[in-house]
Structure 1
Amino acid sequence: MPILIKSYNLYRINIPSIIMMNNPDKLLLLGDQAIALGAIHAGISGVYAYPGTPSTEITEYIQDSPLAQERKLHSTWCTNEKTAMEAALGVSYVGGRALVCMKHVGMNVCADAFVNSAITGVNGGIVVLAADDPSMHSSQNEQDSRFYGKFAMIPMLEPSSQQEAYDMMEGAFRLSEEKKLPVLMRITTRMAHSRAAVTVKQNFLEVTRTGRPSVPADWVLLPGNARRRYLEVIEVQPQLMALSESSPYNLYMQGKEKMAEKGIIACGIGYNYVMENFPEGCPYPLLKISQYPLPVEKIAALAASCREILVVEDGQPFVEEQLKGILPSAYQVKGRLSGDLPRTGELNPDNVRLALGMSVTQVYAPAKQVVSRPPALCNGCGHRDVYDALNKVVAEYPDAKIFGDIGCYTLGALPPFRSLASCVDMGASITMAKGAADAGLFPAIAVIGDSTFTHSGMTGLLDAVNDRANITVVISDNLTTAMTGGQDSAGTNKFEAICLGLGVEPEHVRVVVPLPKNMDEITRIIREEIEYNGVSVIIPRRECMQTLNRKLKQKRAEKK
């Protein structure tokens, strides 16, 4: 079994990989890095993604890979997950292979293109990587992307180790091209951000093209074409079921007894958690599932060998719910729904151990009277000055509300600022402010970051302009995508032009430099734009302290 090294901060180490014991065939890789390297070795033409924890390191690895650079693979960041999915469809149309990466909430953004990609089908292979975040380490919800794969009726893979994550990639692209369907690969935070030894190939594929032309009628989803393609997707389902039954990643292991008290279904990384509790081998019959749709025949064989089944799956009760329809109603299925495993949050070896009826040895006593330390904006961050100015002005308006958005500036909801009234999803600040203004709120203020504005905020601003909504929009521009590590922001140095192009009046697009010495100017401008009856945009612009420090360190290193 691979060792999962918990690396809550180590995954930020800026190294493409670590060679183990001078063996070029074995690397110490994050799960994200194993996926990235597997995709490069599978012959992709490029990766299409928007940064989002815990998926970000996949694209960053490809950006830093000498082989990817030599092959000139596409690896620049997309504006959002929908544009990433659609660009990958373009690569597929001309016969190339593409990897699409996002976190689980990004699946919601690309859902239109993703679900329709099953109906268009693919030419070159497409693998969509969804990195789910149970426990919401850096997310606004818990969500299981396997439901998206089932909804779209496409094959799914869920690696149980970094080695499988690497190995699966070539087969995933081949499966995609053989069945002419995209393939969804689903991982979770701990798989993405833990390291393990991975044996890699030295003989890998060049950039791969199918060489076959796309059928235009498959890609033009007029109702007549879509109805035909939908029937074809339905007809391929028995083949996908058969592939799951024979998949090397779906393994049925017979227990020691002919009829055991319990059996186990372990999905993806859940298999690791089970086996960490049984280093000498699992005594119960066990079905490891890492390829979907569910292998019904293997499930039936497991059920016939035990009196109850415990389902160990990270995320939501995706398999547990389906078992209740596959097995007789009287058959006992345990898992998250039954309360044997926690209903929310990540699994770990300890809560799996408890569900197996084993005791847990407490190595360290829980700390007492530890004061919580919530995250905070960095010292010197321009967002701090933005919130100081906003708080000073809105104190003059009893009914004022500031609607927030997704980014490091979301921390403005916490002490010492306590500025934000909401933070729902990417881009919601502008549209919520507009809706509140439509309902009579004054003043209605939206705070959105530079990357989030181009991701999902521009259309909301156009709505506001078209309705002449009485709102003030603050695009807090720190010249990077700071929350996920400082990736390039799609709209850098374009925001004034974008706002003017969307119809904001030129005299109401204002740029300020958020520094304490400019506080009088900033508060004056905020007051002026609040009092303007229409759409105003204020752009406080100052580079993120973290990216600035990295640039300065790099310059100093280059001089030595």
Structure 2
Amino acid sequence: MKKQLLLGDEAIALGALHAGLSGVYAYPGTPSTEITEFIQGNALAKERGVHSRWSTNEKTAMEAALGMSFMGKRALVCMKHVGMNVCADPFVNSGMTGVNGGVVVLVADDPSMHSSQDEQDSRFYGKFAMVPIFEPSNQQEAYDMMAAAFDYSEKQCLPVLMRVTTRMAHSRAVVECVDVPRQQNELNYNAEAKNWVLLPANARKRNDIVTAQQASLEEDAANSPYNIYIEGQDKSLGIIASGIGFNYVNECFPSGSPYPILKISQYPLPKKLVRRMLSECKQVLIVEEGQPFIEDMVRGVSESMNIKGKLDGTLPRTGELTPDIVKKALGMEIGECFDPCADVAPRPPALCQGCGHRDVYAALNEVLKEYENPRVFGDIGCYTLGFLPPFRAIHSCVDMGASITMAKGAADAGQWPAVAVIGDSTFTHSGMTGLLDAINENANITVIISDNLTTGMTGGQDSAGTNKFEAICRGLGLSDEHLKVVVPLPKNMPEITQMIRDEINYKGTSVIIPRRECMQTLQRHLKQKKAAK
């Protein structure tokens, strides 16, 4: 066995490659991005021709993975938790179609919302879709579970949802890896059309089959090597812990827990093991990161009121867990913590100096001074920072692509001016259909596609629509007369402001594309060119 120091994300990626992966499909999103990036740079992946190009969005990623599975090969789909909302349609239906080659859907949740709009817990998606869920508690498990998840996916003919959280994804540990990676699956034609064509007559049969599978999935979870009942002498308390929460419980007891611990890393909930703990222990504390997913189900299994966790306030309902939070829940003394100096001023994130988005917002603010009650609808990306000082330029940011459709809805309500600001990657991810709606009705909105030639917010990955935006807008039906391109630089400010003013005053749908490369990727490209000489 070879030992490597790996991020949780890297352990997942390497585990998938060593399990015979043929393709990874993903859209970049923190904290999941490093999985695909690791595969893109891995020598074995290149040698084997593993697919690793970024997808346009999470829905297309999930559907492409299903296509690879249909042909018998193993596919990994990666996203952050809000990406699960985007791919929910194919993901939920994949439980009905089943799989041929194994499919693992890796979702990285972001408790405390370090870079996200919400704290959603993706385990609910797995329960909703009636598919197995794996949740590693450390980097070694993250690596090992990939092979187990692919094997289990093919055994049960179901996709497997694997859920991690930010600290698991972005912390490092030594991982023991296999010496000989598994070969990729051969192409096969075993997928049966009657399972994959979800006409109601076919889907009803599959629904009966998948529903009937749930009992065996639960039995497998009860016997899983990842779900462990650890004996303890003191039965006054039992602890049920999942994911990174199990790590934190162990940190509280460096010499071993005096209390019984039930570690849960594979779902459906193993009710047999839960009932054992409930029968043996006077009280049960449930330590899980995210929402009270396990706790809700445990309370459904037991009539006992001696269940502690998030629902009774023993643990906080929001934010990340920490070892100190778990210690407090266990009634243990908390050691001295680092207390930052009260005189240190907070430093919120800001757009980089020299960023083209800055010039776009400066021009937009200058023009909008001329109008009464203008509204600017923002989107997901670096440019969302335009909400903060010094620009304070946008009024909303809800989800990927919402800027254009919200601007259209506001215009439908009578708002003018209604301006949408969206980035290049976000536009191809979820903005094109909204623009088509606007063009079809010639909605009175101005759309600014701020093109920095990359997916800047997540580290400079390739953007699906680079050098194609004018063609896309024309293909959707936008007239050339109201499709404008400009370079956002201070010296071009008169041109930009006049362009924005003209298109706002046009009573219909118009698109302005300010285009200048992201400063971060520009510097990286210049270094690469210099190194190549």
C-alpha distance in structure 2 between counterparts of 1:269 and 1:368, whole Å: 31
Structure 1: 5+ residue stretches without partners:
1-23
Q: Per-residue deviation at 1:366?
A: 4.0
1:336 aligned to 291, 310, 318, which one? 310
- SS of structure 1 residue aligned to 2:458: coil
How far does the alpha carbon of each residue in 1:111-145 deviate from its partner, in whole angstroms, 9 at most, with x for none? 00000000001000000000000000000001000
**Aligned residue type for 1:321:** D
How far does the alpha carbon of each residue in 1:93-113 deviate from its partner, in whole angstroms, 9 at most, with x for none? 010100000000000000000
- SS of structure 2 residue aligned to 1:371: coil
Residue 459 of structure 1: aligned partner: 433
2:345 paired with 1:380: no
**Aligned residue type for 1:411:** L
Cα contact 1:403–1:430 (8 A) shared by 2: yes
Q: Per-residue deviation at 1:417?
A: 0.1
How far does the alpha carbon of each residue in 1:187-209 deviate from its partner, in whole angstroms, 9 at most, with x for none? 00000000000000012201123
2:512 paired with 1:538: yes
**Aligned residue type for 1:175:** Y
2:119 paired with 1:142: yes
2:191 paired with 1:217: no
Cα contact 1:124–1:209 (8 A) shared by 2: no
**Aligned residue type for 1:217:** K
Cα contact 1:251–1:289 (8 A) shared by 2: yes
| TM-score in terms of structure 2 length | 0.99
C-alpha distance in structure 1 between counterparts of 2:134 and 2:374, whole Å: 48
Residue 260 of structure 2: aligned partner: 285
Residue 361 of structure 1: aligned partner: 335
How far does the alpha carbon of each residue in 1:172-196 deviate from its partner, in whole angstroms, 9 at most, with x for none? 0110011000000000000000000
Alignment of 1:497-516 (within 5 A): 497-516=471-490
Residue 181 of structure 1: aligned partner: 158
Q: Per-residue deviation at 1:365?
A: 3.1
Alignment of 1:463-478 (within 5 A): 463-478=437-452
C-alpha distance in structure 1 between counterparts of 2:2 and 2:340, whole Å: 41
2:74 paired with 1:97: yes
Cα contact 1:136–1:345 (8 A) shared by 2: yes
Q: Per-residue deviation at 1:210?
A: 7.0
Q: Spell out structure 1 runs of 4+ moving beyond 3 A.
A: 209-212
1:434 aligned to 397, 408, 413, which one? 408
**Residues matched between the structures, number:** 533
1:488 aligned to 459, 462, 477, which one? 462
Residue 130 of structure 2: aligned partner: 153
Cα contact 1:93–1:124 (8 A) shared by 2: yes
Alignment of 1:38-49 (within 5 A): 38-49=15-26
Residue 171 of structure 1: aligned partner: 148
How far does the alpha carbon of each residue in 1:354-395 deviate from its partner, in whole angstroms, 9 at most, with x for none? 000001011433421321110000000000000000000001
- SS of structure 2 residue aligned to 1:314: coil
Residue 262 of structure 1: aligned partner: 237
Moved more, 204-213 or 526-535: 204-213
2:377 aligned to 385, 396, 403, which one? 403
C-alpha distance in structure 1 between counterparts of 2:207 and 2:8, whole Å: 34
C-alpha distance in structure 2 between counterparts of 1:270 and 1:334, whole Å: 14
- SS of structure 1 residue aligned to 2:464: coil
**Aligned residue type for 2:238:** G
C-alpha distance in structure 2 between counterparts of 1:429 and 1:547, whole Å: 25
**Aligned residue type for 2:505:** E
- SS of structure 1 residue aligned to 2:415: coil
C-alpha distance in structure 2 between counterparts of 1:255 and 1:344, whole Å: 30
2:131 paired with 1:133: no
Residue 218 of structure 2: aligned partner: 241
Structure 2: 5+ residue stretches without partners:
none
C-alpha distance in structure 1 between counterparts of 2:344 and 2:301, whole Å: 47
C-alpha distance in structure 1 between counterparts of 2:196 and 2:530, whole Å: 52
C-alpha distance in structure 2 between counterparts of 1:154 and 1:82, whole Å: 18
C-alpha distance in structure 1 between counterparts of 2:341 and 2:233, whole Å: 41
Residue 37 of structure 2: aligned partner: 60
C-alpha distance in structure 2 between counterparts of 1:362 and 1:200, whole Å: 37
Residue 172 of structure 2: aligned partner: 195
Change (3 A) 1:327 1:209: farther
C-alpha distance in structure 2 between counterparts of 1:386 and 1:224, whole Å: 53
C-alpha distance in structure 2 between counterparts of 1:487 and 1:153, whole Å: 33
Residue 226 of structure 1: aligned partner: 203
**Aligned residue type for 2:436:** L
Cα contact 1:81–1:110 (8 A) shared by 2: yes
Residue 492 of structure 2: aligned partner: 518
C-alpha distance in structure 2 between counterparts of 1:251 and 1:367, whole Å: 43
Cα contact 1:307–1:331 (8 A) shared by 2: no
C-alpha distance in structure 1 between counterparts of 2:330 and 2:307, whole Å: 13
Residue 76 of structure 1: aligned partner: 53
How far does the alpha carbon of each residue in 1:470-504 deviate from its partner, in whole angstroms, 9 at most, with x for none? 00000000000000000000000000000000011
C-alpha distance in structure 2 between counterparts of 1:291 and 1:211, whole Å: 29
Cα contact 1:266–1:286 (8 A) shared by 2: yes
Change (3 A) 1:486 1:440: same
Change (3 A) 1:314 1:210: farther
Cα contact 1:285–1:305 (8 A) shared by 2: no
Cα contact 1:97–1:209 (8 A) shared by 2: no
- SS of structure 2 residue aligned to 1:483: helix
| TM-score in terms of structure 1 length | 0.94
**Aligned residue type for 2:225:** P
2:323 paired with 1:349: yes
- SS of structure 1 residue aligned to 2:151: helix
Alignment of 1:441-452 (within 5 A): 441-452=415-426
- SS of structure 1 residue aligned to 2:21: coil
Residue 314 of structure 1: aligned partner: 289
**Aligned residue type for 1:57:** E
Identity %: 67
Q: Per-residue deviation at 1:213?
A: 1.2
- CA RMSD of superposed structures (Å): 0.9
Q: Per-residue deviation at 1:212?
A: 5.1
C-alpha distance in structure 2 between counterparts of 1:520 and 1:475, whole Å: 19
Residue 19 of structure 1: aligned partner: none
Cα contact 1:123–1:210 (8 A) shared by 2: no
C-alpha distance in structure 2 between counterparts of 1:266 and 1:367, whole Å: 34
C-alpha distance in structure 1 between counterparts of 2:48 and 2:340, whole Å: 51
C-alpha distance in structure 1 between counterparts of 2:377 and 2:527, whole Å: 36
Residue 302 of structure 1: aligned partner: 277
Cα contact 1:445–1:473 (8 A) shared by 2: yes
How far does the alpha carbon of each residue in 1:22-41 deviate from its partner, in whole angstroms, 9 at most, with x for none? xx700000000000000001
